[in-house]
Chain A
Amino acid sequence: AQKITQTQPGMFVQEKEAVTLDCTYDTSDPSYGLFWYKQPSSGEMIFLIYQGSYDQQNATEGRYSLNFQKARKSANLVISASQLGDSAMYFCAMRAPGDDMRFGAGTRLTVKP
């Protein structure tokens, strides 16, 4: 069975600093996708970044990058140059063929001015 683990319930970062949000996963499928979503207090889930299990390079989208370490089954999200608007819940998710999307419990990020 697929499983996603986010071990950091809450994280603090100073504005303009970088922060890493941890995510580990467990699956026996060789093909899978990894996702990060941001959920502000308004409730809407906002897609940030995607990494396929066969992708050779780490995914990047603007200030977001995914540190994909396949052997360690980790897919950490790195946010560079944090902004106050980055304060939100962040969810890691995984999806394998024929399976539904599984989400971690989330990490609440607070950016301090």
Chain B
Amino acid sequence: DTGVSQDPRHKITKRGQNVTFRCDPISEHNRLYWYRQTLGQGPEFLTYFQNEAQLEKSRLLSDRFSAERPKGSFSTLEIQRTEQGDSAMYLCASERSSYNEQFFGPGTRLTVL
């Protein structure tokens, strides 16, 4: 399978706990995006990497959120001190520079109790 993969697919956690999600992009894609999608809405941009550099962050990304992409390969998104409002689907997408299509992973559905 050469598509974008995300792990875990589902995560249930208690409020106040930390969670970390992983995204493995398509290998030749140098751009990687994180989105958040709540029920009944379209995805909302969170942050974007070109290779290992984090080039843009949305104001939706509070200081409890941090994302990394060491060595420009896989990426992790960590949420510290989770809140019930963090419950959502977290989607990762990758893209090759100068191409227009973003390929999405299956998402990680987070439920904060």
**Interface on A for B, CB 8 Å cutoff?**
4, 33, 35, 37, 42-47, 50, 52, 91, 93, 95, 100-106
Select one of B44, B56, B104 contacting A45, CB under 8 A: B104
Which of A33, A42, A43, A104 is the most central at the interface, judged by chain B CB atoms within 10 Å of its CB?
A: A43
A44 to B109, CA, bound (A): 11
B43 with A91: CB separation less than 8 A:
yes
A44 with B107: CB separation less than 8 A:
yes
A33 to B83, CA, bound (A): 35
Which of B48, B58, B91, B104 is the most central at the interface, judged by chain A CB atoms within 10 Å of its CB?
A: B104
A46 to B42, CA, bound (A): 13
Question: Known contacts A45-B43, A106-B42: does B89 contact A101 (CB below 8 Å)?
Answer: no
A105 to chain B, nearest CB (A): 6
List 17 additional A-B contacts (Cβ < 8 Å) besides A33-B100, A100-B56.
A35-B101, A42-B106, A44-B105, A44-B106, A44-B107, A46-B104, A50-B101, A52-B100, A91-B42, A100-B58, A101-B33, A101-B45, A104-B42, A105-B40, A105-B42, A106-B40, A106-B42
A-B contacts at CB below 8 angstroms, number: 50
A64 to B75, CA, bound (A): 33
15 contacts between A and B (CB under 8 A): A4-B42, A33-B100, A35-B101, A42-B106, A43-B107, A43-B109, A45-B91, A45-B104, A47-B102, A91-B42, A100-B45, A100-B48, A104-B42, A105-B41, A106-B42
**Interface on B for A, CB 8 Å cutoff?**
33, 40-45, 48, 56, 58, 89, 91, 93, 100-107, 109
Which of B43, B45, B56, B93 is the most central at the interface, judged by chain A CB atoms within 10 Å of its CB?
A: B43
Among residues of A, the one whose C-beta sits closest to the C-beta of B109 is A43
